[in-house]
Structure 1
Amino acid sequence: MSALLDTAAPLPGLPDPVHDSQAAFRAVMNALARPGKPQKLDTGDFQAPAPLSNTAGAIALSLFDYDTPVWLDAELAGSSQVWQFLRFHTGCPITDDPGEASFALVSDAEHMPPLSSFNQGTLEYPDRSTTIIAMVDKLTGAKAVTLSGPGLKKPAGFNASPLPPSFWNELAAIHAQFPRGVDMLFVTQKQVAGLPRSTRIEMKGR
């Protein structure tokens, strides 16, 4: 995976770096604390380089730093503007290996690689797993799975689309390994929903 960085100045970062970063971070924390419940994230005049969405870009700028290796899917990795933007504003190293990534940015969620290819942490250090930020079109529609566990008073339905056909089976199997696993953030143009690895996932009809 490689991209040549051009010499053009990267797009500006968050208009109000402190407050905008805090707002994005708060939305992510609320999303992970309340699994499956979409949280509003207004990015205002902020503009991320395509194909990185404004919402995903704002989250990236609030979470990434020089100590968090980041994996990019093919569309993002092929954009020199995305590379330059992330490196300039966060200092994060870009890795070719999803198994080494602290964070993964996925612009084409329907064709993301198998979840087993990402770092799932260890029993001793489960926090070293990958947080996957997947850009999706919708967080509504027919409920694909039922969620239960910490942060949920009662089981709740959830869906996001588009995703690979095998996605929910894969995620349910990985979450069954808790405390190992991956944390998911599903991002639309104005919302973010989280599924931490502590969330139990039951397929509909089972």
Structure 2
Amino acid sequence: MSAACVEGGFSDPVMEAQVAFRALMDATARPGSLCDLPGSLAPPAPLPEGLGAVALTLCDPDTPVWLAPAYDTPEVRGWLAFHCACPLVTEPAESVFAFAPAGADCPPLTAFNSGTQEYPDRSTTLVLAVEALEGGAPLNLEGPGIRSRETLAAAGLPEGFVAQRAENRALFPRGSDLLLVAGLRGCALPRTTRVTAASTGTSTDEGAE
């Protein structure tokens, strides 16, 4: 095993994982809010630092992980195996957590596991690297954890993002959850969050209340 696989984890694994976990849980409870992730890690390229922090916090031997082709290198695989001991799968639908950059390397949300009616919690959480969490086209967010309405202006979201989210939310209680990460900042969009384009305020999302 190379040094790149062994090095680059949290400098204080227990404390920093706890800090990151609380930040991610707070972000999930308040969709659209931004959280800060610990930055004392250096995952092997090309895995972004923020995605590495999420992996070290949430992934373990019981959480199969899928890597987009852009991140699926021997070094990244070895780093995750050493620090998280998570099994790596070849199909998005087999994963509990999936890590991808926004763009052509990321399959549509329909490719991931949406859970079942009996076990909706067995769905995939997609951790998506975006350009920034501010400065993009504004989106309106509504739903549990949001008082009235929240606005998110992430830059670099996948094409057709609003339509994909509407299709995903219509599956409720099934559906994939989403974490957007830019640098060491994160934002959660649970399956219950309604996403509409702020310019029009309209959406095809009518399936979940």
Q: Same fold (TM over 0.5)?
A: yes
- Give the one of 140, 147, 152 matched to 1:153: 147
Asked if 1:109 corresponds to 2:105, the answer is no
Contact 1:69 1:100 (8 Å CA) reproduced: yes
Cα distance between partner residues in 2 of 1:156 and 1:13:
34
Indicate the residue corresponding to 2:185 in structure 1. Answer: 191
C-alpha separation in 2, matches of 1:163 and 1:55: 16
Aligned-residue identity in percent: 43
Task: State the Cα distance separating 1:142 from its structure 2 match.
Answer: 4.3
User: RMSD of the alignment, in Å?
Assistant: 1.3
Structure-2 separation of matches of 1:65 and 1:179: 25
**Counterparts of 1:57 and 1:14, CA distance in 2:** 10
Structure 2 counterparts to residues 51-90 of structure 1, below 5 A: 51-77=46-72, 79-90=73-84
User: Match of 1:15?
Assistant: 11
In 2, Cα distance between the equivalents of 1:125 and 1:203? Answer: 31
Residue among 15, 25, 29 paired with 2:25:
29
C-alpha distance in 1, partners of 2:142/2:170? 12
Q: Do 1:175 and 1:201's aligned partners in 2 also have CA atoms closer than 8 Å?
A: no
Of residues 172, 177, 182, the one that matches 2:171 is 177
- The one-letter amino acid paired with 1:92 is C
Match of 2:207 in 1: none
**Residues of 2 paired with 1:66 and 1:114: CA distance?**
26
Partners in 1 of 2:159 and 2:122 — Cα distance? Answer: 27
CA distance in 1, matches of 2:38, 2:62: 27
Contact (CA 8 Å) 1:143, 1:157: kept in 2 or not?
no
Code of the residue aligned with 1:29 in structure 2: it is: M
Please say if 1:165 is aligned against 2:159.
yes
- Judge conservation of contact 1:150–1:199 (CA < 8 Å) in 2: yes
The answer as to 2:135 corresponding to 1:133 is no
Cα distance, 1:69–1:185 mapped onto 2, change above 3 Å: same
Moved segments of 4+, more than 3 Å: none
Q: 1:98 Cα shift?
A: 0.5
Q: Which deviates more from structure 2 when the two are superposed, residues 67-76 or residues 170-179?
A: 170-179
Question: If the length of structure 2 is used for normalisation, what is the TM-score?
Answer: 0.90
Distance, in Å, in 2 between the alignment partners of 1:56 and 1:82 is 11
TM-score normalized by the length of structure 1: 0.91
- Any gaps of 5 or more consecutive residues in structure 2? 203-209
